[in-house]
Structure 1
Amino acid sequence: MILLENENIRVTFAAKGAELRSITSKINGLDYLWSGDATYWAKFSPVLFPVIGALKDETYIVDGKEYHLSRHGFARDHDFEVEQISDSELLFTLSSTEDTLKVYPFEFKLDLRYIISGSSVSCTYEVTNPAEKELLFSIGGHPAFAAPLTADASYEDCYLEFAVDESLTYFKISDNLISDQTDTLHLDKAKLFLKHPLFYDDALVFKHMESRAITLRNTKNEYGLHFRFNDFPFFGIWAAKDADFVCLEPWCGIADGVHHNQQLSDKEGIVSLPPGEDWKRIWEVEVF
């Protein structure tokens, strides 16, 4: 484990996938991330790159050639180079190789920059295009937060509080792809109480969420977290079946739709980065 800590929090990471592994408050002793129990889901906070969700038939087309990637891409399964910038900052780097070019025909440099401050940890995705052609990619977060945090609360005592939205329309998933069917969640004073059946049909996928901050709280005690994100056009909320966590997932990109033509350049939400340019997005979690 790789460690950052200050007087308020202790945060650990793994080089594999540049994955955030724990966020422990020194004030109350609570770890706010999911435990990684393999009975339900063995990951903690994977980075989704260069695709988010599933591709139709795990296949996409670039310049007339078919390529194959599994769900959420390959970055989460690769070891990143690690550099400690300061006592409060870590930089994880993954670059294209001969092996990645076989399944993803683009040169890239992907940096994940983690910074702690007070009781907060931020994650910055930085993508650089070193090539002489455009770089097409999607990227997003998948952090899983413990729900509940303490033994005196249950999953159903936990709720998400949205900064702006009064209702949320989500797109249903069909065979891992985004369907045309939608449903609407009507919030109770901006609150969505967690229930395991919410996620029995996979993630809730939002294309038009207005909130750029979500708070995870519960009715039994004062512990929780604020999750903030900007400039992510898509958002997912998910949990494994009957598991006591909730994933808050800001995305630049989305799974293939059921009618997608498999051309990567036509993929909904795909980011096109010109030669020699950089791109970045940030999400942040503050625990209390």
Structure 2
Amino acid sequence: MIVLENNSLRVSISEKGAELQEIFNKETQLDYLWSGDATYWGKKSPVLFPIVGTLKNNSFHHNGNNYSLNRHGFARDMDFKLTESKDARVCLSLDANQETLAHYPFIFRLNIIYELNKNQLSCTYEVINIDIKPMYFSIGAHPAFKVPLEAAFEFSNYQLVFNEKETEGKWPISEDGLIEEKPLPFFNNNNEITLTKELFYGDALVFKHLKSNSIELKNNHSKHGFVFSWKDFPFMGIWSAKNAPFVCIEPWCGIADSVNTTGELRQKEGMNLLVPGETFNRTWSVTVY
């Protein structure tokens, strides 16, 4: 276990999946991250790479070859190496190998960089194409936050407040985990979602191209919550397991296959193209109070 610490926060990270295990605020004495209770969902903050969501038939085609790849890709289940550790910053790295090449035909390096600044944790995804051919990939976050944060409250005491008023619909998810063809009405020029357990009985809330770039989890009866911020992630998922005491806020550079997908990787929505030698960076952060 890797521990990153400053005067305000203590953050723990597992080498497996470079996955966050703890976001502990020394001032509030609260751990904001979900416990990982397998009764509901055994993970805490998996990294989604090289795809986000589900592929139709768990497979894709590229250059005339077929490949199998499970939901959310393989990075979350692989061992990363600690490649940098200094002050309030660490970097964990995953390199392509024979196991990854069997499912995904590109040579890459994936760096996950965690950094503390007072009561803020930032996470940067850095993807490097070290192949001799162009690389197609998606990447996304899946951190789960404890709700309620304090035992005195209920899940329904909390709201998600977006920093812009939104009008977007939500994109339904099929029984096979694919994105349906048309969105359903959701936002009506408003910026707040009151959390209820029933909200997630039909799987995640999936949005495309929101105007907002931050969401605050707040409780009008408490002074504790957090602000989650992101930049240049075109898709957003908000999810909880059925009746679970957590909520995931998931900025994505990628999305599940649509129900009418061709299966061709180049044609998949949300794929990012990286030419040889090029580096891709995206950062999200959470400020806890």
TM-score > 0.5, shorter chain as reference: yes
Which residue identity does 1:228 align to in structure 2?
S
Alpha-carbon contact 1:152-1:220 (below 8 Å) kept: no
Per the normalisation by structure 1, the TM-score is 0.98
- Which range is displaced more, 106-115 or 201-210? 201-210
- Partner of 2:240 in structure 1? 239
Give the distance between the partners of 2:225 and 2:166, measured in 1 at CA: 21
Q: Distance in 2 between matches of 1:279 and 1:208?
A: 19
Q: Is the 8 A contact 1:148 1:218 kept in 2?
A: no
Deviation digits for residues 122-174 of structure 1 (CA, Å, limit 9, x no counterpart) = 00000000111001100000000111100111000011000002444110000
Deviations 1:224-249 (A, max 9, x none): 00000000011100000000111000
Matching of residues 152-231 of structure 1 within 5 Å: 152-174=152-174, 175-186=176-187, 190-231=191-232
Aligned to 1:124: 124
Tell me the CA shift for residue 188 of structure 1. Answer: 9.0
Q: Give the share of equivalent positions with the same residue, in percent.
A: 47
Contact 2:165 2:189 in 1 (8 A): no
TM-score, length of structure 2 as denominator length: 0.97
Q: Which runs of 5+ in 1 are unaligned?
A: none
Give secondary structure in 2 for the equivalent of 1:125: strand
Kept in 2: contact 1:115–1:123 (CA 8 A): yes
| Secondary structure at 1:164 match in 2 | strand
Cα pair distance change 1:226/1:253, threshold 3 Å: same
Aligned counterparts of 1:82 and 1:208: Cα–Cα separation in 2? 34
Amino acid at match of 1:211: S
CA contact (8 A) 2:159 2:192 kept: yes
Cα distance per residue 1:229-285 (max 9 Å; x no partner): 000011100000000111000100100000000000000010010011111000000
> What SS does structure 2 have at the residue aligned with 1:184?
coil
CA contact (8 A) 1:7 1:118 kept: yes
Q: What does residue range 133-144 of structure 1 map to in structure 2 within 5 Å?
A: 133-144=133-144
Moved more, 78-87 or 265-274: 78-87
Q: Show the counterpart of 1:24.
A: 24
Q: 1:2, 1:13 within 8 Å by CA — same for their partners in 2?
A: yes
Q: What is the aligned partner in structure 2 of residue 74 from structure 1?
A: 74
**Mapping of 1:60-71 within 5 angstroms?**
60-71=60-71
C-alpha separation in 1, matches of 2:19 and 2:135:
24
- Counterpart in 2 of 1:268? 269
Structure 1 distance, partners of 2:243, 2:201, is: 8
Distance 1:21 1:286 in 2: 16
